[in-house]
A and B are shown apart, each in its own frame.
Chain A
């Protein structure tokens, strides 16, 4: 469980997040939605201790993100940022192998190698394993970074807009994999831009606007015309498909 108590964040004079109180349930997929500038990425980065906490408290499975050593936190949660440009010239397998680093700190054991192979297989990266990162497409690179997070083998996965560079087939496949991971007991927090992915796959949805929580709950509770209209300042029709909301934001 991730507990977020009374968290606020400012950059200079600008308030980015204000008085956020949330409890994110374990073993489920939580989606953070909201318009641009709502503070979704900032909140995710605060949970993942990528940005120092200014006000409030965040704990992940009982570990306070400010007090717990970073290396220990790396075994509890894996975070994937929005921009993953290949500054380093690494082979795909080498990148995924770095996901095991918090566990073996340089001395890889057989179980580490096995985890790497499993992660590569999960994301259809086996044929690309020996290729360099700067020689594959943006979508393939995204999958490589995701495989690295999976190999890190943590209870929590924090993903900031992971679907951005993926084509439709891979985007859907990723959401299906995340669902599978959640079935296996992991907790997943995803920032998504396209609300229908949240509608179709999330167990828990948090809607942010202007740095505040506007709504929180199941997809049916949050993804209603009223809430969405308030969130995105537009009239949106919502229908249903296979027991899940379907948001017709594009018509």
Chain B
């Protein structure tokens, strides 16, 4: 509970800083009277801050859900091929139907993410059950294979810049009002996960225990798959790939609070939002007024944290 309060309290100054910092200089004293300053704040700063919070929260929740359906701590949508599946979907739509409306792109991206995750789930069913670390490894390799496919299609269709800059490196610099609203759908999917929190937690107990308690195992798995795919697809379409949030935040929260999802999901969401907000601030400040993509910053921070999680001694009370 304390953790939730600390994280929540951290969000407020971070959000404020996020709204206040940016490449253009805003005269805060005259904000009410200066239409230019007002525009910058309402069309760019606030939407960006909201987008960052939504992305962080949704991705963190998607990470928890994936960890429950896979029953493995070291997975998240960015490291098992889900994001690459969404990218493939987006590429397909961009190549085959470039004039398609945004909802069609959304749909195809979600389907791509769903297909990739389904492939991942099918693959890990064939693994020996006690080999915990093989699961994330298979995920990473699958992601690499799909990434090669994405690169190939990008190269052949001359969309490589689109792939490299917009898709695979997540950044929030392109967020303005009217370009990020899809993220609310991601947030809705994450909220859906909270409503089914108990069911996901029971899923984590294993197929047998879950069936013994009367849970519709297949149904909850499909719901989890849907949540993960929709969140990933929305984030990919809006801002690109933001790695590691879904991995490190749930793991750190679980260390403190355990896997009782009804209690821990809000904390995970808040933690995700705070982490991405902090990284986005860093990305904006480190070479002010230029921006480093937040995907790069998280790539560094996330992999360091992942290595720490991998090599620390397990907590024995």
Q: Is the CB–CB distance between B212 and A78 below 8 Å?
A: yes
The residues of B that contact A45 with a CB separation of less than 8 Å are: 208
Total contacting residues, chain B, CB less than 8 A: 26
Surface stretch bound by A, among B39-47, B88-96, B254-262: B254-262
Per-position binary interface string of chain B over residues 199-234, scored 1 when its CB falls under 8 Å from any chain A CB and 0 otherwise:
001101111110111111000000000000000000
Q: Is the CB–CB distance between B214 and A89 below 8 Å?
A: no
**Whole-angstrom CA separation of A134 from B213 in the bound complex:** 21
Q: Is the CB–CB distance between A72 and B213 below 8 Å?
A: no
Q: Is the CB–CB distance between B205 and A73 below 8 Å?
A: no
Q: Is the CB–CB distance between B212 and A90 below 8 Å?
A: no
Chain A interface residue bracket vs B: 35 or more
The residues of A that contact B211 with a CB separation of less than 8 Å are: 48-50, 70
**Whole-angstrom CA separation of A135 from B205 in the bound complex:** 16
The residues of A that contact B205 with a CB separation of less than 8 Å are: 87-88, 95, 98
Q: Is the CB–CB distance between B254 and A89 below 8 Å?
A: yes
The residues of A that contact B287 with a CB separation of less than 8 Å are: none
* A90 interface neighbour in B71, B207, B260, Cβ under 8 Å: B260
Q: Is the CB–CB distance between A131 and B209 below 8 Å?
A: no
Q: Is the CB–CB distance between B214 and A72 below 8 Å?
A: yes
From B72, which residue of chain A is reached at the shortest CB distance?
A87
Q: Is the CB–CB distance between B258 and A74 below 8 Å?
A: no
**Whole-angstrom CA separation of A72 from B315 in the bound complex:** 38
**Whole-angstrom CA separation of A81 from B71 in the bound complex:** 17
The residues of B that contact A81 with a CB separation of less than 8 Å are: 206, 208-209, 212
The residues of A that contact B215 with a CB separation of less than 8 Å are: 70-71, 101
Is residue A80 within 8 Å, beta carbon to beta carbon, of the partner chain?
A: yes
Q: Separation in Å of the A66 CB from the closest CB of chain B?
A: 13
From B205, which residue of chain A is reached at the shortest CB distance?
A88
Q: Is the CB–CB distance between A98 and B258 below 8 Å?
A: no
* A101 interface neighbour in B71, B204, B213, Cβ under 8 Å: B213
**Whole-angstrom CA separation of A106 from B202 in the bound complex:** 11
Q: Is the CB–CB distance between B208 and A79 below 8 Å?
A: yes
Q: Is the CB–CB distance between A70 and B216 below 8 Å?
A: yes
**Whole-angstrom CA separation of A81 from B198 in the bound complex:** 21
Q: Is the CB–CB distance between A89 and B258 below 8 Å?
A: yes
Q: Is the CB–CB distance between A132 and B317 below 8 Å?
A: yes
**Whole-angstrom CA separation of A106 from B213 in the bound complex:** 13
Given contacts A49-B211, A75-B214, contact A87 B317 (CB under 8 A): no
From A135, which residue of chain B is reached at the shortest CB distance?
B317
**Whole-angstrom CA separation of A73 from B211 in the bound complex:** 10
Q: Separation in Å of the B191 CB from the closest CB of chain A?
A: 15
The residues of A that contact B201 with a CB separation of less than 8 Å are: 88, 90, 98
From A101, which residue of chain B is reached at the shortest CB distance?
B213
* A48 interface neighbour in B206, B212, B255, B315, Cβ under 8 Å: B212
Is residue A34 within 8 Å, beta carbon to beta carbon, of the partner chain?
A: no
* A98 interface neighbour in B207, B213, B314, B317, Cβ under 8 Å: B213
Given contacts A87-B71, A131-B317, contact A50 B258 (CB under 8 A): no
Is residue B125 within 8 Å, beta carbon to beta carbon, of the partner chain?
A: no
7 contacts between A and B (CB under 8 A): A50-B207, A70-B216, A81-B212, A88-B204, A89-B259, A102-B213, A106-B198
Top 8 A-B pairs, shortest CB-CB distance: A74-B214, A135-B317, A71-B214, A88-B204, A79-B212, A102-B214, A88-B259, A81-B208
Question: A residues engaging B (CB < 8 A)?
Answer: 45, 48-50, 70-75, 78-81, 84-85, 87-91, 94-95, 98-99, 101-102, 106, 131-132, 134-135, 145, 148-149, 152
Question: B residues engaging A (CB < 8 A)?
Answer: 71, 198, 201-202, 204-209, 211-216, 254-255, 258-260, 262, 314-317
